[in-house]
Amino acid sequence: MKEYRTISRVAGPLVFVKKTEPVAYADMVKVMLPDGSVKNGQVLDTSDEVVIVQVFEGTSGIDLNTRVKFLNQPIKLGVSEELLGRIFSGSGRPVDNGPEVVADKMLDITGAAINPYSRANPSDFIQTGISTIDAMNTLVRGQKLPIFSASGLPHNEIALQIARQARVVGKESSFAIVFAAMGITSEEARRFIDDFEQTGALERSVVFMNLASDPAVERLLTPQLALTAAEYLAFEKDMHVLVILTDMTTYCESLREIGSAREEIPGRRGYPGYMYTTLAGIYERAGMVKGKKGSITQLPILTMVGDDRTHPIPDLTGYITEGQIELSRDLHRRNVYPPINVLPSLSRLMNLGIGREKTREDHKQLSDQLYAFYAEGLDLRGLVAIVGEESLSERDRRLLKLAAEFDDKFVRQGRNEERSIGETLDIGWRLLSAIPEAELSRIHPDLRKKYYGKC
Partner 1 sequence: MKKGVVYRVAGPVAIAELDARMYDVVHVGDERLLGEVIQINGSRCTIQIYEDTTGLKPGAPVVNTGEPLSVELGPGMLSSIYDGIQRPLPELKKLMGDFILRGAAAPGLDRSRKWDFKPVVKKGDKVSSGSVIGEVNEGQVVHRVMVPPGNEGVVKEVRHGSFRVDEVVCVLDNGFELSLMHKWPVRKPRPTSSKLAPVEPLVTGLRVIDALFPIAKGGVAAIPGPFGSGKTITQQSLAKWCDADIIVYVGCGERGNEMTEVLTEFPELIDPRSGKPLLNRMVLIANTSNMPVAAREASIYCGMTMAEYYRDMGYNVAMMADSTSRWAEAMREISSRLEELPGEEGYPAYLSARLAEFYERSGRYVNINGSQGSVSVIGAVSPAGGDFSEPVTQGTLRVVKVFWALDAKLAQRRHFPAINWLNSYSLYLDALSSWFAANVVAGWREAVDSVMRILQEEEKLLEIVQLVGSDALPEREQVTIQVARLVREVVLQQNAFHEVDTYSEPKKTYAMIKAILRYGDLSYDALKSGVRVSDIISVRAKDRLAEVKFVRDYDGLLKGILGDIEAEFGKLGKRQEK
Residues 208-267 that bind partner 1 (CB under 8 A): 235, 264-267
Q: Find the shortest distance in angstroms from Cβ 26 to partner 1.
A: 4
DSSP β-bridge partners for residue 348 = none
> Can you tell me the distance from the alpha carbon of 28 to that of 217, in angstroms, rounded to the nearest whole number?
14
Q: Which of 396, 418, 423, 426 binds partner 1 (CB under 8 A)?
A: 396
The reply on whether position 4 binds partner 1 by CB under 8 A is no
357: left (phi over 0), alpha (psi -120 to 50) or beta: left
Q: Find the shortest distance in angstroms from Cβ 374 to partner 1.
A: 9
# chain residues binding partner 1, by CB under 8 A: 84
Q: Find the shortest distance in angstroms from Cβ 304 to partner 1.
A: 12
Q: Find the shortest distance in angstroms from Cβ 185 to partner 1.
A: 29
Write the interaction track for partner 1 spanning residues 32-51; mark x where CB under 8 A is met and - where it is not: ------------xxxxx---
Pairing, β 67-74 against β 3-4: antiparallel
Q: Find the shortest distance in angstroms from Cβ 255 to partner 1.
A: 13
Beta-strand (E) ranges in 134-236?
Answer: 139-140, 147-149, 167-168, 176-184, 205-211
CB nearer to partner 1: pick between 33 and 44: 44
144: nearest Cα among 340, 282, 316, 307: 282
> Can you tell me the distance from the alpha carbon of 85 to that of 419, in angstroms, rounded to the nearest whole number?
28
How many other CB atoms are there within 10 angstroms of residue 134's CB atom? 26
The reply on whether position 7 binds partner 1 by CB under 8 A is no
Q: Which of 106, 212, 375, 435 binds partner 1 (CB under 8 A)?
A: 375
Q: Which of 146, 287, 294, 428 binds partner 1 (CB under 8 A)?
A: 287
The reply on whether position 305 binds partner 1 by CB under 8 A is no
User: Which of the ranges 218-226, 248-256, 272-280, 328-336 carries the binding residues for partner 1, by CB under 8 A?
Assistant: 272-280
234: nearest Cα among 160, 181, 291, 168: 291
Q: Which of 113, 170, 335, 416 binds partner 1 (CB under 8 A)?
A: 113
User: Which of the ranges 3-11, 109-117, 201-209, 428-436 carries the binding residues for partner 1, by CB under 8 A?
Assistant: 109-117
SS3 of 295, please? strand
Question: To 10 degrees, the CA torsion angle through 50, 55, 60, 61?
Answer: -60
Q: Which of 348, 358, 409, 430 binds partner 1 (CB under 8 A)?
A: 348
Q: Find the farthest-apart pair of alpha carbons in the chain and give their distance in angstroms, rounded.
A: 83
CA 242 to chain centre: 10
Report which residue type is found at 279: L
321: nearest Cα among 361, 280, 360, 290: 280
Q: Which of 92, 215, 323, 353 binds partner 1 (CB under 8 A)?
A: 323
CB nearer to partner 1: pick between 213 and 441: 441
Q: Find the shortest distance in angstroms from Cβ 403 to partner 1.
A: 13
136: nearest Cα among 338, 284, 318, 331: 338
> Can you tell me the distance from the alpha carbon of 351 to that of 364, in angstroms, rounded to the nearest whole number?
8
Q: Find the shortest distance in angstroms from Cβ 78 to partner 1.
A: 18
The reply on whether position 65 binds partner 1 by CB under 8 A is no
> Can you tell me the distance from the alpha carbon of 228 to that of 207, in angstroms, rounded to the nearest whole number?
13
> Can you tell me the distance from the alpha carbon of 18 to that of 9, in angstroms, rounded to the nearest whole number?
9
Q: Which of 86, 256, 285, 412 binds partner 1 (CB under 8 A)?
A: 285
CB nearer to partner 1: pick between 24 and 33: 24
Give the full edge-to-edge strand order of the sheet including 3-4. Answer: 3-4, 67-74, 27-32
Q: Find the shortest distance in angstroms from Cβ 325 to partner 1.
A: 12
> Can you tell me the distance from the alpha carbon of 59 to that of 258, in angstroms, rounded to the nearest whole number?
12
Q: Which of 3, 25, 94, 330 binds partner 1 (CB under 8 A)?
A: 25
CB nearer to partner 1: pick between 192 and 373: 373
Q: Find the shortest distance in angstroms from Cβ 111 to partner 1.
A: 8
The reply on whether position 274 binds partner 1 by CB under 8 A is yes
The reply on whether position 284 binds partner 1 by CB under 8 A is yes
Residue 9 CB contacts under 8 Å (≥ 6 apart), including other chains: 15, 16
Q: Which of 27, 124, 195, 362 binds partner 1 (CB under 8 A)?
A: 27
Q: Find the shortest distance in angstroms from Cβ 143 to partner 1.
A: 7
What H or E segment, with its residue span, contains residue 149?
strand 147-149
The reply on whether position 330 binds partner 1 by CB under 8 A is no
The reply on whether position 71 binds partner 1 by CB under 8 A is no
